[in-house]
């Protein structure tokens, strides 16, 4: 075989015979991320900009409703894995999302004026006080709360668990070192495409009618969901049948229960350290993101403007992450090793968090921003933090986290991944939510902006714990990945 040129090895380290497996997975990741970006921008907009609501609702939903639903979905998924084949389980997990997108876009959102229990919600506000009305907003706008939960579960169940589990099932270690950062690039391309799509729906096609924009976006999400299922069907029919592989390889093995999955996290040090990485990311990102979104509502109080800006931010994330995935991510993992790639995200996140809180504490005094420049600066540095952290997540954190499972034994992979990916990520986000809710009730007077000084040391502690987990995990189980990539690169350099 002739040696690959250096530019191809850098940008596209894929052989021709690998394309039949790579391209469909790349297309699936593109669609998964495109749908998630649409849902992400919409869920924040409908929750934050509704009358009597705000960014303070986000930690209530993530810390309570979403966590309970995530645990319930984990139980259902564990039960479903006993009842259905892998292919059937994928479709059973995906179809409810398709149905809900249509229900929300074409019935719940357009009819929220009479579906919302305003009378009883107003009575609750008079009972507990205006400073606690964000609690009532979860109940008042129950359809938005439900949409928020579904959008969060799309990120946790569909992308983190279903897609990456499917990729892990059909990709070898050698393929993973080449494919996974390309999957991240495909997801980033989906985020890039979502940005002008969201902007067009909220600022161009809807003529100021936000319910019409929601209908357009939900229809797009429905069509993409159908396409994802079609590609999954094609892969299993023409490339790699996961059910046939399961029958041939683990025909005599029983599937683990959810209890066994949690026991694996406790008993397996490696799986426990991976869980700390996931929890650390969720804690440190959300402790910055919520006050940034509160400031963003002050800057853009209208729904169309708020979601249009969120779409632009997602577009910046996609562009930066796409660049990093092609020119940085894969080459860091292949040439510098897993440790460098895994440490890059918490280091960048820590620096950006320090910059955000520094500007925030200077510009927000006595419960208000000192001037418009201070508000704009906080929104800007919050945007930089969001773009940097999400970009690093897509190009390095997700691939390095998924590679963390590859050196583990079969039991650790099977039993631990569901709990780490679904419940572990939820506890990271929920932990940050509990911290914020507690601080708001103690010191915040109903506003997340009033507790910024208390959030900064919490972020520092989360980043420190995350770095500790990465270094310990590298010493324990990832030397073999570094050795494999080093040997592979040495052979390639000789060939070139």
Q: What is the model's pLDDT at position 173?
A: 66
Report whether 164 contacts 186 (CB < 8 A). Answer: no
d(CA 61, CA 134): 10
Range of the domain at 228: 16-495
Q: What is the model's pLDDT at position 98?
A: 96
Q: How wide is the angle at C-alpha 190 spanned by C-alphas 185 and 192, nearest 5°?
A: 90
Say how many domains are in the chain.
Answer: 1
Q: What is the model's pLDDT at position 117?
A: 94
Q: Residue 5: inside a domain, yes or no? A: no
d(CA 146, CA 127): 24
Give CA separation, 311 vs 22, 72, 193, 294, 485, in Å: 28, 31, 10, 17, 37
In tens digits, what is the pLDDT along the chain, a chain of 496 residues? 444 455 556 566 666 766 777 888 889 999 999 999 999 999 999 999 988 888 889 999 988 888 888 878 877 877 887 788 888 888 999 999 999 999 999 999 999 989 999 999 999 999 988 878 889 999 999 999 999 999 989 987 888 778 877 887 777 666 766 777 778 778 878 889 999 999 999 988 877 789 999 999 999 999 999 999 999 998 888 877 776 665 444 444 444 555 555 665 666 677 778 888 888 888 888 899 999 999 999 999 999 999 999 999 988 988 887 787 667 766 677 677 778 888 888 999 999 999 999 999 999 988 889 999 999 999 999 999 999 888 888 778 877 887 777 777 666 666 667 667 656 666 777 788 889 989 988 875 778 898 988 999 999 999 999 899 888 888 766 555 555 444 443 444 333 3
DSSP codes joined into one string, 405-466: HTTS-HHHHHHHHHIIIIIIHHHHHHHHHHHHHHHIIIIITT-GGGGHHHHHHHHHHHHHHH
Per-residue b or e along 475-494, where b marks 16 or more CB atoms closer than 10 Å to that residue's CB: eebbeebbeebeeeeeeeee
Report whether 337 contacts 486 (CB < 8 A). Answer: yes
Phi, psi of 364 (to 5 degrees): -115, 110
Q: What is the model's pLDDT at position 246?
A: 54
Q: Residue 349: inside a domain, yes or no? A: yes
Report whether 195 contacts 312 (CB < 8 A). Answer: yes
d(CA 241, CA 233): 9
Report whether 87 contacts 236 (CB < 8 A). Answer: yes
Query: Which of 72, 39, 40 minimizes the C-alpha distance to 423?
Result: 72
Q: Residue 132: inside a domain, yes or no? A: yes
Q: What is the model's pLDDT at position 265?
A: 62
Q: Residue 40: inside a domain, yes or no? A: yes
Query: Which of 393, 385, 383 minimizes the C-alpha distance to 345?
Result: 393
Report whether 240 contacts 433 (CB < 8 A). Answer: no
Q: What is the model's pLDDT at position 45?
A: 94
Q: Residue 3: inside a domain, yes or no? A: no
Q: What is the model's pLDDT at position 477?
A: 60
Q: What is the model's pLDDT at position 6?
A: 58
Q: Residue 10: inside a domain, yes or no? A: no
Q: What is the model's pLDDT at position 492?
A: 40
Q: What is the pTM of this model?
A: 0.81
Q: What is the model's pLDDT at position 312?
A: 92
**DSSP code at position 253:** P
Residue in this structure with the two tokens 């990485």, named with its chain if needed: 277
d(CA 470, CA 463): 11
Report whether 408 contacts 182 (CB < 8 A). Answer: no
Q: What is the CATH number of the domain that holds 49?
A: 1.20.1250.20
d(CA 347, CA 353): 10
Give CA separation, 259 vs 74, 79, 273, 419, in Å: 11, 12, 19, 10
What angle separates helix 269-299 from helix 303-324, to the nearest 10 degrees?
140
Q: Residue 6: inside a domain, yes or no? A: no
């Amino acid at each position: 075989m002739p040696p690959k040129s250096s530019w191809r090895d850098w940008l596209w380290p894929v052989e021709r015979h690998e394309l039949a497996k790579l391209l469909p997975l790349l297309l699936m990741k593109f669609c998964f991320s495109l749908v998630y970006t649409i849902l992400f921008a919409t869920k924040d907009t409908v929750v934050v900009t509704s009358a009597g609501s705000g960014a303070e609702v986000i930690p209530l939903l993530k810390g309570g409703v979403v966590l309970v639903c995530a645990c319930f979905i984990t139980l259902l998924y564990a039960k479903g894995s006993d009842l259905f084949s892998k292919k059937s389980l994928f479709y059973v997990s995906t179809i409810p999302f398709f149905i809900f997108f249509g229900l929300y876009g074409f019935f719940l959102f357009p009819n929220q004026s009479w579906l919302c229990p305003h009378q009883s919600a107003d009575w609750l506000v008079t009972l507990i006080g205006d400073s606690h009305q964000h609690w009532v907003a979860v109940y008042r706008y129950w359809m938005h709360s439900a949409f928020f939960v579904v959008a969060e579960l799309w990120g946790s169940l569909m992308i983190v668990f279903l897609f990456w589990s499917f990729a892990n099932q059909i990709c070898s270690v050698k393929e993973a070192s080449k494919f996974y950062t390309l999957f991240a690039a495909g997801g980033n391309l989906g985020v890039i495409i979502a940005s002008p799509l969201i902007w067009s729906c909220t600022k161009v096609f809807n003529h100021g009618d936000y319910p019409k924009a929601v209908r357009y976006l939900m229809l797009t999400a429905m069509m993409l969901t159908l396409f994802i299922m079609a590609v999954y069907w094609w892969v299993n029919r023409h490339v790699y049948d996961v059910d046939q592989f399961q029958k041939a390889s683990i025909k005599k093995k029983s599937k683990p229960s959810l209890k066994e999955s949690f026991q694996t996290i406790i008993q397996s040090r490696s799986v426990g350290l991976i869980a700390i990485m996931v929890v650390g990311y969720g804690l440190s990102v959300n402790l910055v993101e919520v006050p940034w979104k509160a400031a963003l509502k002050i800057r853009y109080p209208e729904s169309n403007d708020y979601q249009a800006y969120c779409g632009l931010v997602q577009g910046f994330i996609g562009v930066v992450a796409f660049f990093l995935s092609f020119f940085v991510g894969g080459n860091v993992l292949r040439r510098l090793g897993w440790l460098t790639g895994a440490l890059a995200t918490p280091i960048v996140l820590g620096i950006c968090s320090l910059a955000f809180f520094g500007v925030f504490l200077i510009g927000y005094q006595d419960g208000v921003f000192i001037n418009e420049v201070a508000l704009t600066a906080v929104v800007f540095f919050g945007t930089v933090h969001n773009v940097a952290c999400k970009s690093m997540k897509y190009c390095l954190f997700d691939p390095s986290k998924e590679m963390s499972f590859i050196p583990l034994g079969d039991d650790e992979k099977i039993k631990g991944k569901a709990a780490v990916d679904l419940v572990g990520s939820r506890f990271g986000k929920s932990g940050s939510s509990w911290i914020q809710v507690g601080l708001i009730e103690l010191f915040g007077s109903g506003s997340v902006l009033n507790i910024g000084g208390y959030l900064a040391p919490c972020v520092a502690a989360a980043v420190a714990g995350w770095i500790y987990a990465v270094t310990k995990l590298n010493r324990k189980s990832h030397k073999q990945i570094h050795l494999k990539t080093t040997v592979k690169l040495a052979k390639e350099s000789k060939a070139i």
